[in-house]
């Protein structure tokens, strides 16, 4: 799609508005819309459209807040959720004075990561294929104040509702038994299918949808692998679509990693590979059909994983999921089968084109532009420094002796630890000016002041059961 194509599409679709979407630092889409008169020619694609960025999370302060959105014509589609015909595009952000890419715009980070890969000569394209999990609830109530704190999840599928009064027909997936049940236990097939259909309407290719392990409507929708920037765009679309389709049905969606105690959390296993031309660079004759270059990429991921966690697992709730046991992928090792390892090499197909890694620790609350870029930079650093990933962890992790387990490093146990690791280890992110010191400092400061510290100040409801009569 070119600007000319977009102008033609506006006329053909009878669009009356153009909706401009961009991503804030933490990973939430923001938008504003303008009438078609603002898009009568191609100037908007060159000059951009101005807006006040002072209220966007993690962006400029009020004294330097004027910003420009630059629409990407290749992202133009018909908005699926507006009453009036509306054409929407995803935008990158520029400084209006220098006309340089704004360094705190996550989409610009992803664009620079792709450019850096090419500049190294290692490869031409990095493919990403995330598997985001999420919950579809019937309702959610929560509040916290000086004298009380609670959350209450409403789910017609929740195993805890087998004894609910009124019309109760049963068929609720038991805890940890929600993987692939048919109807009527899986009551959300049609809702997920509608999500897929809307995703397809905006150009996203979907591989499958299904119920996930947990009770209470845990779901997964997998998109076919795509280049880094395009997949980050797709993931933003996917989350937006899932939420809005759920609302149509009087339901609500959360990508929160651990909303339920005692059942599986929601992760986002992320498949990735690097190609040069038509050559898949991870295919070889080594372990699990992998190349030496591919193993060094894994070495980079494992070496930098404690710092990557600040971007791939960016909320305090992320670490309710990353705990020992429950098949949590906290062990910083790789394997062709072991799902408790942080990195897995899928062996579904012997084809060289299918050779990829699956990084298992990320979760879907991440900002995909930052998380994908950070993982690529870690992998490239592993290749450039020829980092050794060590021996594969093909043993049953639960059968290891304490001394054997002590030799396997693990993921951080909290967001605070992850941020401390990022503070110590981020030089690899600065290569090619992909990330900047300013962005990293802003990220750490925001997370510490707005999330880590406020959590420290508040008593946890479970503490009353532990300590009220101490």
192, 243, 269, 296: the active-site residue: 269
Give CA–CA dist 379/357, Å, rounded. Answer: 11
User: CB burial class (10 A; 0-12, 13-18, 19+) of residue 278?
Assistant: exposed
- Determine whether 360 is an active site residue: yes
99, 339, 424, 458: the active-site residue: 339
304, 360, 381, 426: the active-site residue: 360
- Determine whether 304 is an active site residue: no
- Determine whether 211 is an active site residue: no
72, 105, 133, 381: the active-site residue: 133
Q: Are 155 and 138 in contact (CB under 8 A)?
A: yes
- Determine whether 263 is an active site residue: no
- Determine whether 212 is an active site residue: yes
94, 105, 114, 131: the active-site residue: 131
94, 212, 222, 263: the active-site residue: 212
Return the active site residues.
52, 131, 133, 212, 220, 269, 339, 358, 360
């Amino acid at each position: 799609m070119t600007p000319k194509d977009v102008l033609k599409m506006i006329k053909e679709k009878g669009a009356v508005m153009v909706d401009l979407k961009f991503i804030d630092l933490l990973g939430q889409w923001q938008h504003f819309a303008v009438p078609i008169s603002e898009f009568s020619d191609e100037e908007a694609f060159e000059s951009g459209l101005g807006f006040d960025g002072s209220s966007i999370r993690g962006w400029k302060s009020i004294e330097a807040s004027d910003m420009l959105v630059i629409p990407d014509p290749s992202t133009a589609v018909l908005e699926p959720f507006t009453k009036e015909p509306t054409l929407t595009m995803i935008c990158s952000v520029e400084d209006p004075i220098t006309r340089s890419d704004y360094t705190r715009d996550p989409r610009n980070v992803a664009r620079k990561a792709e450019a850096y890969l090419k500049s190294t000569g290692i490869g031409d394209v990095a493919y990403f294929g995330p598997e985001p999990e999420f919950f579809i609830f019937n309702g959610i109530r929560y509040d916290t104040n000086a004298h009380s704190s609670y959350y209450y999840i409403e789910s017609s599928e929740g195993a805890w509702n087998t004894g609910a009064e009124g019309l109760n027909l049963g068929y609720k997936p038991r805890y940890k038994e929600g993987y692939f049940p048919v109807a009527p236990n899986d009551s959300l097939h049609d809702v997920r299918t509608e999500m897929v259909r809307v995703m397809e309407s905006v150009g996203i290719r979907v591989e499958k949808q299904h119920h996930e392990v947990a009770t209470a409507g845990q779901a997964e929708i997998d998109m076919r692998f795509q280049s880094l920037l395009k997949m980050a765009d797709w993931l933003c679309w996917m989350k937006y679509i899932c939420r809005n389709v759920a609302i149509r049905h009087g339901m609500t969606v959360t990508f929160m990693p651990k909303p339920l105690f005692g059942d599986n959390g929601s992760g986002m296993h992320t498949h990735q590979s690097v190609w040069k031309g038509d050559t898949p660079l991870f295919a070889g004759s080594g372990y699990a059909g992998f190349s030496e270059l591919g193993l060094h990429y894994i070495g980079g991921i494992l070496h930098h994983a404690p710092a990557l966690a600040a971007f791939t697992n960016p909320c305090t709730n992320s670490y309710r999921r990353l705990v020992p046991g429950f098949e949590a992928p906290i062990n910083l090792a790789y394997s062709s089968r072991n799902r408790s390892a942080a990195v897995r090499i899928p062996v579904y197909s012997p084809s060289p084109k299918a050779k990829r890694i699956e990084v298992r620790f990320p979760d879907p609350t991440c900002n995909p532009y930052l998380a994908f870029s950070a993982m690529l930079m870690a992998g490239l650093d592993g290749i450039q420094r020829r980092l050794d990933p060590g021996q594969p962890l093909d043993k049953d992790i639960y059968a290891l002796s304490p001394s054997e387990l002590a030799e396997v490093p693990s993921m951080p146990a909290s967001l605070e630890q992850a941020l401390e690791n990022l503070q110590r280890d981020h030089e690899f992110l600065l290569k090619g000016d992909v990330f900047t010191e300013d962005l990293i400092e802003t990220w750490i400061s925001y997370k510490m002041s707005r999330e880590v510290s406020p959590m420290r100040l508040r008593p946890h409801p479970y503490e009353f059961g532990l300590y009220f009569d101490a």
